[in-house]
Amino acid sequence: MNFIEINDITDPELEIFSRYSEVQLYHLNEPENGVFIAESANVVLRALEDDYEPVKILVEKERIDTEGKQVFEAVIRKFGEEFLDSLPVYTAGREIVTLLTGYKLVRGLWTVFRRKDPVGLTDFLKDKSRIVLLYDVVNPTNVGAIIRSAAALGMDGALLTYASVDPLTRRSARVSMGTVFKLPWTKVRKKDPSGLGLLDLLGDSGFTTAAMALTTDTVPVDHPDLKNAGKLAVILGTEGYGLPDEIINASDHRIMIPMHHGVDSLNVAAASAVCFYELMKNT
């Protein structure tokens, strides 16, 4: 094992854990794919299961023989003992690690992973029949929760607009309990169709589009036209503002969850879980 004791938290080798923003991590090593950081052993193990390659590990001394051991064994299973022996594993006590990462509530273990090649829109859509489109959803907690619900309730994948949060950000991956590594997803790139052009692409690919929105012509989420659609894309908007009017109006359906006691809507993550459950029930 290549254990490296941390004595100086200003060591340049550790900057990737402490100074780099999510955007900087995403663009690190361009033109090659960037990296991301996974927090906690559970999330790291999910990433390893899906063949993401680790670059560096940071682990608290007190957890080397618990969470650390699980991760080291998983690295060996996927990449071999020689790979693990060459992998930098930084270690220190809880107080030093907290100073380095700035996180008091996240405990135990962090791993830097290489990103995989992104999946193009055409390839992503061709083998899916039930997807969710996250339209400019910028809250990482909501993105993680929506993807977790989509994975748990049987959706085929998640498509995110360019402005949406990257699912591999630390918080999104952690909130999703690592399901961001299990559920197929892709993000729209700058050069890809956006706005109404994205809806046109979904239509050309055979998808019926259903926007979650409060309008006068909404239908409930268990409407037969939705359940019987050969391919369906459920469109969710950002918290607070919802979807742009042009996207709502251009969608094939407007859908809603019936509310009671004067409540007009649910949090977008909660609404997604209800919607996915109804759409996938008895399928």
Q: What does the radius of gyration of the chain's CA atoms come to, in whole angstroms?
A: 21
pLDDT higher at 283 or 196: 196
Residue 249 has pLDDT above 90, yes or no: yes
Per residue in 68-106, pLDDT (tens digit) is 999 999 999 999 999 999 999 999 887 777 776 665 545
Angular region, 139: left φ>0, alpha ψ -120 to 50, beta rest:
beta
Q: What is the pLDDT of residue 21?
A: 87
Q: What is the pLDDT of residue 105?
A: 45
Please report, rounded to a whole number, the percentage of residues in the chain having pLDDT higher than 70. 96
> What's the CA gap between 175 and 138, in Å, rounded?
14
Q: Residue 98's closest CA among 56, 136, 62?
A: 62
Residue 262 has pLDDT above 80, yes or no: no
Q: What is the pLDDT of residue 103?
A: 57
Pair type for strands 109-114 and 35-39:
antiparallel
Domains of the chain: 3-114 (3.30.1330.30), 121-280 (3.40.1280.10)
Q: What is the pLDDT of residue 33?
A: 85
Per residue in 180-202, pLDDT (tens digit) is 999 999 999 989 989 999 999 99
Which of 47-61, 218-232, 260-274 is modeled with the greatest confidence?
47-61
Q: Match 């559920």 to its residue by tokens.
A: 183
Q: What is the pLDDT of residue 31?
A: 67
Give how far Cα 225 sits from Cα of 204, 218, 220, 221, Å: 19, 12, 10, 10
Average pLDDT, the chain: 90
